[in-house]
Structure 1
Amino acid sequence: MHIPSITELSLLKALWRWQPLSAREIHEHIGDELSWSYSSTRKTLERMLEKGMVRQHTRHGVQTYEATLEKVDTLAMFARDFAKRVMEIDTPLPVAMFTGSKLVSGTELAELEQLLQQWPGNGDATP
């Protein structure tokens, strides 16, 4: 599975919160954060569709999108990537770094903790 880019993550976060969404609705949710045009949102969605990160459906004559990447798995991948590549940490991360997040619920936080403990190289499976 590919780790989404920062801009792809912005679109995924909107979808995780409110899916299904049309391209226009996604753009309205992320427009201020990314400060880009609607055509950039559409192009990014097309690339994400090609990569299998989202799926597209027609609802009431409007193309809508849903995330195919699981939120907790994706966040765990991001955290591991950041820890390894940026911080050069080779051990499991504490889930405390996610406490207070508006993105994850208590249940998701527990799941995330479990995934973060399954650090690559520990002999445990990775998501």
Structure 2
Amino acid sequence: MKTSPPTAAELAILRILWRDGPATVKQVHEAVYAGTDTGYTSALKILQNMLAKGLVSRATDARQHVYKAAVSERPTLNRLVRGWMDSAFSGSSLALAMQALDARPIDQQELAELKAVIKRLEAGSD
């Protein structure tokens, strides 16, 4: 990815676009900022900044602009995680994972999924 990494606000918008597909500013505003003091124009400005950064693309549909994620979810999230690993955990995947598990409790379903991932990793490393 050649763009700069998304900010927290940009990531919230990208999550909506990845999940729901292309959306207007109004749709993004309602999905991300419903029930908050953040206005429509703030959502518009963030989307304009994201367009300039190459995080989204824009098409004109009748009289409104429709925004679409221009970056894929997995590579974008991997890039963010690698940045955190490098800056906060000296590049250690284990340290990052242990901190994540310490920071927020994991439920039984997530624990089962984590165990399945570990088994897949162990099977692939033999």
Percentage identity across aligned positions? 26
Moved over 3 A (4+): 32-35, 91-95
Q: Does 1:5 align with 2:17?
A: no
Task: Structure 2 unaligned segments of length 5 or more: list them.
Answer: 101-105, 108-112, 118-126
Q: What is the match of residue 90 of structure 2?
A: 89
- The CA RMSD over aligned residues, in Å, is 3.0
Assess, with a 3 A threshold, how the Cα gap between structure 1 residues 34 and 13 changes in structure 2: closer, same or farther.
Answer: farther
CA contact (8 A) 1:48 1:54 kept: yes
Contact preservation (8 Å) 1:15, 1:67: yes
Residues 1:26 and 1:74: Cα distance change in structure 2 (over 3 Å): same
- Provide Cα deviations, 1:67-124, integer angstroms capped at 9, x if missing partner: 0011000110111111222x323234688x7x99xxxxx9xxx9xxxxxxxxxxxxxx
CA distance in 2: counterparts of 1:90 and 1:68, whole angstroms: 27
- Whole-Å Cα distance in 2 between the matches of residues 9 and 33 of structure 1? 19
TM alignment of 1:22-41, pairs within 5 A: 22-32=24-34, 35-41=37-43
Distance 2:58 2:89 in 1: 37
Distance change (3 Å), C-alpha of 1:71 and 1:33 = farther
Secondary structure, in 3 states, of the residue corresponding to 1:66?
Answer: strand
Q: Distance in 2 between matches of 1:33 and 1:23?
A: 16
Q: For residues 38 and 5 of structure 1, what CA distance do their matches in structure 2 show?
A: 18
Matches within 5 A, 1:75-114: 75-85=77-87, 87-92=88-93
Aligned pairs, how many?
A: 102
Q: Deviations over 1:31-88 (max 9, x none)?
A: 0487411111000111111111100012243210000011000110111111222x32
**2: distance between equivalents of 1:33 and 1:79?**
29
Q: In the superposition, relative to structure 1, how do residues 49 and 34 fare at CA in structure 2: closer, same or farther (>3 Å)?
A: farther
Instruction: Provide structure 1 residue ranges, at least 5 long, that are not aligned to the other structure.
Output: 101-105, 111-127
Aligned residue in 2 for 1:48? 50
> Which residue matches 1:57?
59
